[in-house]
Structure 1
Amino acid sequence: MHAAPAQRSSQSATAARVQLPVSGMSCATCVGRVERALSALPGVTASVNLASNHADVSFDPARVGVTAIVEAVRDAGYEVPHETLELAIAGMTCASCAGRVENALRGVPGVLRASVNLATERASVEGFAGALQIASLVAAVDRAGYGAEPLTGDVESERALAQAEARRARRQLLLLLTAAVLSLPLMLPMFGVMLPGWLALLLATPVQFGFGARFYLAAWRALRARTSNMDLLVALGTSTAYFYSVYLLLVAPGAHGYFEASALVITLVLAGKWLEARAKRSTTAALRALMTLRPQHARVLRGDAEIELPIAAVALGDVVVVRPGEKLPVDGIVRRGHSDVDESLISGESMPVAKSVGERVTGGALNGGGLLHIETTAVGAESTLARIIALVEHAQAGKAPVQRAVDRVAAV
């Protein structure tokens, strides 16, 4: 008697919901066609809004997936656009780590493609608009044993990430130098200066379990994910050398141990990590330099008054006032005034270029000694500077064929 209500309650508890943008609808008939196509899927209820061009879909993930829902919309003659999200990934140490993050992201419903770049520690995820959820992507990366944070493209967010990276770099350098100070005396027996076993133990122990703790933590995350990585190999190798040396120190005090091997391996790997992090910072320096060229506010003419607005609030056709010495906030056409504009960020030309009424100017360029009134022709992602930044980001996120081959081998 009560089985059916209990079953419906169970299904509603596990139901998922997405809001998909649908392009191509023009009338109520289109709405009905999309709703019928979606409702024909098992476990799916849908409501389509023509005004917002969105489909509100509730479905049972155990019976139907996001891909099947999108295919139903396409079969009805309409499209669900794609979107791309960027994530900052923390905790990767090798190509196999990047492969595991990619596989974790590809397993999230709604994801079409995922690419992880180890050098820049960024992930680019392409999927169906409305179906990609930041929380789901971050949770998938977390389950794989790594950390993730969405990249918004906001200058303040980028500055915070840069400051965090700088602090992490200083900490890595301090750890490396301290580990080196403790490890180098262990090399003295190579030059004929023998160290007491207890002194070697005292020098090697903080290196093994203090500075080497990161390898144990990363190895545990790999084991929890039922896989292996470079950190697991470092932890196993150095632990074997260390504990065997402790055993020799207890049962045969005069025997030669291998404390120097465990400590020096950890120190050398830390040195490699520091050099790798330094190289990563240099790869993103050009991108951050471009971002600093982008002004965050613009002085917009409203009637006879000038109003300062965030750059995101500037619309096409707005007239922007640029005073001498300021950076141009938008791409546009000069409607009033004349000045010399430094456009070296685009052309590389060191000499300023004279600009007068009717000529085009590029956002991010530096105004000379004249007052300019500029009619906005491109804002946001359509501006020249934004497209240059997008190209640099795409180049950094992409992988060469040889890198993809290495990733496949490392994932074995």
Structure 2
Amino acid sequence: MSEQQKISFSVYGMNCASCASTLTKAFETLPNIQANVNFSLEKASLTFDKTQLSEPLAPAINQILLDKGYQTDYETLVFNADWSCASCVEKTVKALKKHPFVIDVKTNLITKTLYVETLQSLVNAELIQTLIAISPYQLEQKDNHSSQQKLINKQQQEKRLFRREKISLLLALLLSLPFCIAMISMFINDTQLLSPIMQFALASPIQFLIGARFYKGAWQSIKNYTTNMDVLVVLGTSAAYFFSVYSMLSGHHTHLYFESSSLVIVLIRIGKYLEFKAKKSSSQAIASLNQLQAIDAQVKKGKVFKTVLIEQVQVNDLVQIAAGDKVPVDGVIVEGSSYINESLLTGESKPILKNTDDTIYAGTINGDGTLLIKTTAVNEQTKLHHIISLVESAQMSKAPILQLVDKISAVFVPVVLSIALLTFASWMLIDGNFEAALLHSVAVLVIACPCALGLATPTAMVVGTGLAAQKGILIKDLNTLQMAHKLDYIAFDKTGTLTKGKVGLEKVTALDSDFYPILLALQTASKHPIAKAVVEHCQSLEVEPKQLTNIQSIQGEGITATLNGDNVYVGNEKILTRFKVDKATQLATHAINVAEDDNVIYVGYKESIIGFFLIADQLREQSQQAITDLQKLDLSTLMLSGDKYQVVEKLSSELGLDGFYAQQSPQQKLQHLSRLQQDHLVAMVGDGVNDAPALAQADVSIAMGGGSDVAKHTASMTLMRDDPRLIAVAIKLSRYTWRTIRQNLFWAFIFNTIAIPAAALGYLNPTLAALAMTASSLMVLGNSLRLKTSQSSI
């Protein structure tokens, strides 16, 4: 039986989209592995069938990363082991190395300590429990850092890396400043300020220290029989540098281009620094979600509360949450009430009052009350972790447009190398000027960096999915984000989608003063949804129930009881027939006309009707605005419901839908969607188990956050709060994102289409080429980040 699993991990050291493409191909050489490496996010994801793994996976991943020259985050798990001899150690090592996620196992028999190395992203409670289970000898994990502490450590590591980048860039700027001054001097009065030796002394550390990362990246690329941006930079700057060295040693001091090679490297390093900052900003949504997790929790141990790490909290523990604290786990309130701020988790701006038996979620913020909760989900099972996993999965997936861009990027560098060679050969044939041929070919190499093309799509997609998550919309894959902007129809289920899925009372008519006391008494003991709605309604009126005896439920009719020896009852028309009540005559006496509708519930005393009410699924307050918002986006709306024709028609008319189909079975909903899909792209919105087939059929499927697990697993998009207005928000985000992608690709292609010929024809020198190339990458990144500023209009 197939057991599909997906893992993801960080990858550091990639310099352009072609690096990601090369690494993807390398991972896919592993048996039965589907890989995706995202340059913008610096992450890789592998999908595989656990039953088809022929060798441990983590060591294979580690070896590929080492061979290709990239890095990732590792973690060493430490255990106390119950060993007595070297044979025990050997058996334990042999058993643990069979686990697919174990890279290496080291031991110390004297201290009875076991060290298991793995990828940091693979470490969770399940892995630790599995390692303990497969060990032939008892293991006990030593306390490790909490997941939140690991996140803090990683952020500190990134800050150190960022600081080193700033220092390196500052050094580059100081070394290149004399070149800038000299160029200005040459432009103003044709005076050469720097001697050849001084130029050589300034250019050499820039070339081989500041530019070392480009040489390293180029060497790794050539070792792997591929070409990337680093190859272009190294070829171009090295040609200018070594030609200048040759000219200097030959005494031709007028033919030095040290400033060109140096300024190209410095400008590209400036671009990489700014690109690094922008990429971190584009993936801020994941970082923000990770920071919602608490580090520890107050867990009841006996009669006292103790502070324990969040990883040590278990299901059914009693956890106390003080006012203003983060909620550490998912749980049900046992004692207390408080307003909970769920804005960062669901996008709901107003704090929500939570009382006993209400569910609260990890990552939300407690208000001014102290709560005692019983945990229902911890660690990887919490809603917060599920949301983070979905957002990460969406950002790592590839939309069709991304796959096209990857194919273009893969052939881009070889084509540019060919153009550079052709440029050199052409200029040599035209006038035989080696210097001119060299400079023009170097300009081609520098101007044609594929960064802008590689960043055009993923950065916009990452920002788009991140914004969606912040607004309470979970998008499972980028294909959904790409498809949503092209939708023509939005099809809705009724119950639980446009309505609350909760029975409510309408048009309550009391014909006797005993109506409410008898009704409340009859319904108090019932567990039926109608009874619950009745009790809530009566309690809101502060009604005191009558004292009844002999309460009985009659299947398909209602409830009967005795009041002072006389019959009282509540139910549909069948129960009136049972007690020989002439409905028509009695209603006519009161000049009341009731439509023939099974949704009318009557209350009787002796042989008289003392009141009645209609039961109806309550319309969501946001549904009307949701339909209006969608129609403003030129989308057609319709309802596919299993409810009765009259109910569906009335609701459709009230909301102003463009069409409806009533009394529909799941199969009939599928048929309607299939017919629409022949000429249109259709989204389906639902919440129940019976909606799952239609959700699977639709081009874009949207599940309500409060719906069934089946619906949410089937849907490609989930609304984290039950607000149908978010559908229009998701479509607007898709349109904004897609517009940004098209703008990015347009400018990236136009830039290369114009710039490469300009460089080849001699209109750009290497320094201007570097400046233009850096500007193109930053323009694409800046345009993607503009999505964040457009959210106010969404």
> TM-score scaled to structure 2, two decimals?
0.40
1:94 aligned partner, one-letter code: C
Counterpart residue number, 2:225:
226
Counterpart residue number, 1:17:
none
Counterpart residue number, 1:90:
12
**Aligned to 1:102, which of 17, 24, 28?**
24
1:166 aligned partner, one-letter code: K
- How many angstroms apart in 2 are the aligned matches of 1:322 and 1:258? 67
Counterpart residue number, 1:134:
58
Deviation at 1:349, TM superposition (A): 4.4
Secondary structure of 1:265's match? helix
**Aligned to 2:162, which of 153, 160, 169?**
169
User: C-alpha deviations, 1:237-282, integer Å up to 9, x for none?
Assistant: 1111011111111223442311111101111111111112111221
- How many angstroms apart in 1 are the aligned matches of 2:195 and 2:300? 79
Deviation at 1:208, TM superposition (A): 0.8
Counterpart residue number, 1:182:
175
The structure with the largest alpha-carbon Rg is 2
Which has the larger displacement, 131-140 or 87-96? 131-140
Alignment check: 8 A CA contact 2:148 2:294 kept: no
Alignment check: 8 A CA contact 1:142 1:148 kept: no
- How many angstroms apart in 1 are the aligned matches of 2:164 and 2:66? 24
Deviation at 1:158, TM superposition (A): 2.6
Alignment check: 8 A CA contact 1:182 1:203 kept: yes
**Aligned to 2:148, which of 147, 150, 155?**
155
- How many angstroms apart in 2 are the aligned matches of 1:349 and 1:406? 36
Superposed, 1:171-250 pairs within 5 Å as 171-187=164-180, 188-189=182-183, 190-191=186-187, 192-194=190-192, 195-250=194-249
Deviation at 1:304, TM superposition (A): 3.5
Alignment check: 8 A CA contact 1:179 1:207 kept: yes
Counterpart residue number, 1:117:
38
Secondary structure of 1:90's match? coil
Counterpart residue number, 2:381:
382
Which has the larger displacement, 235-244 or 360-369? 360-369
Alignment check: 8 A CA contact 1:197 1:253 kept: no
Secondary structure of 1:147's match? coil
- How many angstroms apart in 1 are the aligned matches of 2:203 and 2:22? 33
CA 1:86–1:376: 2 relative to 1, 3 Å: same
User: C-alpha deviations, 1:137-160, integer Å up to 9, x for none?
Assistant: 111122123223334273333322
Structure 2: unaligned runs, 5 residues or longer? 74-118, 124-146, 412-794
Counterpart residue number, 1:298:
297
Alignment check: 8 A CA contact 1:145 1:225 kept: no
Counterpart residue number, 1:365:
364
Which has the larger displacement, 298-307 or 280-289? 298-307
Deviation at 1:350, TM superposition (A): 4.7
- How many angstroms apart in 1 are the aligned matches of 2:68 and 2:13? 11
Residue 356 of structure 1 pairs with residue 355 of structure 2: yes
User: C-alpha deviations, 1:176-196, integer Å up to 9, x for none?
Assistant: 222122223224234233132
- How many angstroms apart in 2 are the aligned matches of 1:286 and 1:193? 53
- How many angstroms apart in 2 are the aligned matches of 1:88 and 1:176? 25
Secondary structure of 2:213's match? helix
CA 1:294–1:84: 2 relative to 1, 3 Å: same
Secondary structure of 1:333's match? strand
- How many angstroms apart in 2 are the aligned matches of 1:349 and 1:220? 51
Superposed, 1:245-284 pairs within 5 Å as 245-284=244-283
Alignment check: 8 A CA contact 2:337 2:353 kept: yes
- How many angstroms apart in 2 are the aligned matches of 1:377 and 1:126? 29
User: C-alpha deviations, 1:109-163, integer Å up to 9, x for none?
Assistant: 342x111110110111112337352221111122123223334273333322222
Residue 318 of structure 1 pairs with residue 335 of structure 2: no
**Aligned to 1:145, which of 69, 76, 79?**
69
Secondary structure of 1:107's match? coil
1:156 aligned partner, one-letter code: Q
Percent identity reads: 38
1:95 aligned partner, one-letter code: A
User: C-alpha deviations, 1:81-103, integer Å up to 9, x for none?
Assistant: 12222221111111110011111
Structure 1: unaligned runs, 5 residues or longer? 1-78
Which has the larger displacement, 129-138 or 238-247? 129-138
Counterpart residue number, 1:334:
333
CA 1:346–1:226: 2 relative to 1, 3 Å: closer
Counterpart residue number, 1:408:
407
- How many angstroms apart in 1 are the aligned matches of 2:398 and 2:368? 44
Deviation at 1:307, TM superposition (A): 4.1
| RMSD of aligned alpha carbons | 2.1
Which has the larger displacement, 224-233 or 280-289? 280-289
Superposed, 1:384-399 pairs within 5 Å as 384-399=383-398
- How many angstroms apart in 2 are the aligned matches of 1:193 and 1:162? 49
> TM-score scaled to structure 1, two decimals?
0.75
- How many angstroms apart in 1 are the aligned matches of 2:286 and 2:201? 45
Which has the larger displacement, 205-214 or 332-341? 332-341
Which has the larger displacement, 393-402 or 92-101? 393-402
- How many angstroms apart in 2 are the aligned matches of 1:254 and 1:142? 44
Alignment check: 8 A CA contact 2:22 2:226 kept: no
CA 1:386–1:95: 2 relative to 1, 3 Å: same
Secondary structure of 2:44's match? strand
Deviation at 1:302, TM superposition (A): 4.6
Secondary structure of 1:148's match? coil
- How many angstroms apart in 2 are the aligned matches of 1:317 and 1:324? 22
CA 1:110–1:387: 2 relative to 1, 3 Å: same
Paired residues, what number?
Answer: 333
Secondary structure of 1:315's match? coil
- How many angstroms apart in 2 are the aligned matches of 1:296 and 1:201? 54
Alignment check: 8 A CA contact 1:328 1:367 kept: yes
Secondary structure of 2:11's match? strand
Alignment check: 8 A CA contact 1:104 1:141 kept: no
Alignment check: 8 A CA contact 1:108 1:140 kept: no
User: C-alpha deviations, 1:290-319, integer Å up to 9, x for none?
Assistant: 212111322233553434443333333333
CA 1:254–1:338: 2 relative to 1, 3 Å: closer
CA 1:370–1:297: 2 relative to 1, 3 Å: same
Alignment check: 8 A CA contact 1:95 1:406 kept: no
- How many angstroms apart in 2 are the aligned matches of 1:109 and 1:159? 36
2:202 aligned partner, one-letter code: L
1:99 aligned partner, one-letter code: S
Superposed, 1:7-46 pairs within 5 Å as none
Deviation at 1:402, TM superposition (A): 2.9
Alignment check: 8 A CA contact 2:321 2:371 kept: yes
- How many angstroms apart in 2 are the aligned matches of 1:133 and 1:85? 11
- How many angstroms apart in 1 are the aligned matches of 2:346 and 2:35? 34
Secondary structure of 1:174's match? helix
Secondary structure of 1:329's match? coil
